[in-house]
């Protein structure tokens, strides 16, 4: 996953002169779940057809010229890259909402994720509380 390469690819798009902005998202594996529990990693898969549909529908949004999506699948550890999304378009009023919607749709419609949690004792030590005597 190379964000610079992805951005360079958008700059080579035949309609690049219509772009006034390129925005990007790089998702990485967090060390905690949304509820605060310690995570050692995740396993993630994507529906490739849904990814393609999402990218194509984003390209149809007002002011959007191009969208690039790269993903990593399988078992990933804390700190590993998960997904990169780059959106190029005319203005930030179009590009930022398109980027946010694309990322949210990928997570909701195309991704299946399983988190692997740290054992309770390890979590307790990190919080300086011991669950077991």
**How far lies 93's CA from each of 5, 18, 42, 57, in Å?**
24, 14, 34, 17
- Report the pLDDT averaged over residues 11-40: 95
Element (H, E) at 26: strand 21-28
Distance from C-alpha of 125 to C-alpha of 2, rounded to nearest angstrom = 37
Q: How many CB atoms lie within 10 A of CB 65?
A: 22
Report the predicted TM-score, pTM, of the whole model to 2 decimal places.
0.85
90 touches 63 (CB < 8 A): yes
- CATH assignment at residue 59: 3.90.1170.40
How confident is residue 133, by pLDDT bands cut at 50, 70 and 90? very low
Three-state SS at 71: strand
In a domain, 131, yes or no: no
In a domain, 28, yes or no: yes
Instruction: With a cut of 80, say whether residue 2 has pLDDT above it.
Output: yes
95 touches 63 (CB < 8 A): yes
Residues spanned by the domain of 82: 3-126
At residue 122, the pLDDT reads 52
- Select from 67, 51, 53, 83 the least CA-distant residue to 19: 67
Instruction: Tell me how many domains the chain contains.
Output: 1
- Report the pLDDT averaged over residues 45-58: 97
In a domain, 133, yes or no: no
Instruction: With a cut of 70, say whether residue 108 has pLDDT above it.
Output: yes
In a domain, 132, yes or no: no
Instruction: With a cut of 80, say whether residue 6 has pLDDT above it.
Output: yes
How confident is residue 55, by pLDDT bands cut at 50, 70 and 90? very high
In a domain, 83, yes or no: yes
In a domain, 110, yes or no: yes
Round the average pLDDT of the chain to a whole number and report it: 91
In a domain, 39, yes or no: yes
The two tokens of residue 118 are 């740290």
Distance from C-alpha of 77 to C-alpha of 40, rounded to nearest angstrom = 6
């Amino acid at each position: 996953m190379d964000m610079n390469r992805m951005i360079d690819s958008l700059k080579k798009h035949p309609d690049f002169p219509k772009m006034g902005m390129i925005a990007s998202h790089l998702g990485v594996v967090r060390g905690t779940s949304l509820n605060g529990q310690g995570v050692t990693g995740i396993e993630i898969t994507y529906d490739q057809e849904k990814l393609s549909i999402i990218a194509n529908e984003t390209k149809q949004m007002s002011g959007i010229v191009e969208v690039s999506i790269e993903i990593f699948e399988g078992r990933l550890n804390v700190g590993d890259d998960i997904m990169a999304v780059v959106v190029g378009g005319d203005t930030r009023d179009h590009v930022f909402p398109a980027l946010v919607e694309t990322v949210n749709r990928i997570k909701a419609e195309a991704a299946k994720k399983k988190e692997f949690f740290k054992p309770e004792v390890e979590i307790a030590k990190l919080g300086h509380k011991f669950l077991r005597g």
